[in-house]
């Protein structure tokens, strides 16, 4: 320090070093801002690519399932029973429900492997009790496709013979 208490004026070398340090600091700050924007853009691109990848995976799974099922042919997807000539609405609704439940085991079967004859035979030989009375189903028609439909007539079951 000089005798007046003032610090000596920095020399040109010190000024140059200070300017270089200040420039480096400003450059690093600018680079950090630029890198932040780049990181943000890259994250957005990554999220878009992941969404596209998931959509492509879903499409691939659907295509693979379609190829697997292509050679298998159509299958029964649902069963329906239409009841005609029931003694009353209560019997009609209850018999429709029971017959459809009886047929649900056919859902998923390949149509080419489905033989309706045993189904008809089994249904026509069975008896069902509704409100204390016994009933039989007479199968009138069978429509076989992805929706298996049976039209049936409900009648009181004959009294069992001496056995």
pLDDT tens-digit profile of 106-153? 998 988 889 999 999 999 999 999 999 999 999 999 999 999 999 999
Write out the H or E segment, with its range, that includes residue 79.
strand 78-84
Range of the domain at 117: 78-156
Q: Which residue has the higher pLDDT, 160 or 73?
A: 73
Confidence check: pLDDT of 5 > 80: no
Mean pLDDT over residues 38-47, rounded? 82
Confidence check: pLDDT of 70 > 70: no
Confidence check: pLDDT of 7 > 70: no
108: left (phi over 0), alpha (psi -120 to 50) or beta: left
Q: In terms of domains, do 149 and 82 share one?
A: yes
pTM across the whole model: 0.55
Q: In terms of domains, do 141 and 84 share one?
A: yes
């Amino acid at each position: 320090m000089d005798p007046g208490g003032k610090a000596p004026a920095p020399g040109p070398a010190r000024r140059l070093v200070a300017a270089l340090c200040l420039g480096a600091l400003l450059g690093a700050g600018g680079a950090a801002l630029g890198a932040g924007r780049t990181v943000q853009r890259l994250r957005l691109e990554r999220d878009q690519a992941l969404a596209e990848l998931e959509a492509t995976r879903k499409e691939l799974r659907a295509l693979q399932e379609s190829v697997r099922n292509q050679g298998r042919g159509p299958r029964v997807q649902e069963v329906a029973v239409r009841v005609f000539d029931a003694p009353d609405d209560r019997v009609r609704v209850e018999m429709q429900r029971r017959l459809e439940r009886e047929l649900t085991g056919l859902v998923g079967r390949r149509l080419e492997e489905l033989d309706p004859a045993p189904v008809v035979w089994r249904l026509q030989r069975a008896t069902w009790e509704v409100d204390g009375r016994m009933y039989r189903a007479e199968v009138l028609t069978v429509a076989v496709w992805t929706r298996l439909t049976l039209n049936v007539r409900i009648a009181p079951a004959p009294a069992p013979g001496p056995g």
